[in-house]
Amino acid sequence: MSFINPTNWRGAMQSTSAAIDAAMGEMLRIIPVDRKPNHQGTAQEEQAIVVRGVFTTHATLGLSDHSFGHQRSTDVIVETRKPIFSFARAQLPWGLQRGDRIQRCCNPEEIYEATRIESDVTSQRITVHVVQLGRMEQ
C-alpha cells in the first residue's frame, strides 16, 4: 500500500479511516444514557445524534478439551459473532461511555448497548464493543 505522503503517517491513517467510513459506513443513531449508581440508566432520546459509522462482527470460537486415556482432542463447540461499531472521533460531540445505546437507522429494531470503548490515537477512530438489547415484538 502506498501513501501520497509517507512522512505523514497520522494523516495517512486518518485518510484511510475516512475511506472506511465512506465505503462501508451506515447511518447510526447514538443515544446517551444517564446513569445513576444502583439504578437502571435512562436513555436521553432528546440528546440523540445521527453519525456515520461502520458495523462489523468478529467471530470467536469456543473450544472444548477432551482427554480419553492418553489421547487428547480439542473440539470446536460454538462459533459466535460479536458485534462491533467504529466511528471517526471527530463525528462525536461527546465521548461515548459504557451503557450508551446505538441504533442502526437501516433497521431501527436493532438497538445495542456499549460495553467496552477502545480508542486508536493514530487513526482517530473509536471502536465500541456492544451487546444487542432485546428485539421488539413484530
Q: What is the pLDDT of residues 5-20, one digit of tens each?
A: 567 767 777 777 677 7
Is the per-residue pLDDT at 129 higher than 90? yes
More confident residue, 22 or 88: 88
Annotated domain spans of the chain: 9-55+82-132
Is there a contact between 48 and 111 (Cβ–Cβ < 8 Å)?
no
Phi, then psi, of 7 in degrees rounded to 5 = -80, -15
Distance, in Å, from the CA atom of 61 to the CA atom of 50, rounded to the nearest integer, reads 33
Q: What is the pLDDT of residues 46-86, one digit of tens each?
A: 999 999 888 888 777 777 776 666 777 767 666 677 889 98
The three cell numbers locating residue 41 = 440508566
Grid cell digits, residue 71: 489421547
Is the confidence at residue 27, as pLDDT, over 60?
yes
Calpha distance 131→36 (Å, rounded): 20
pLDDT of residue 30: 94
Cell numbers standing for residue 24? 462501508
Residue 125 has a pLDDT of 83
Q: What is the dihedral of CA 47, 19, 133, 63, to 10 degrees?
A: -150
- Is 9-55+82-132 in CATH node 1.20.58? no
Q: How far is CA 11 from the centre of its chain?
A: 23
Cell of 61: 470460537
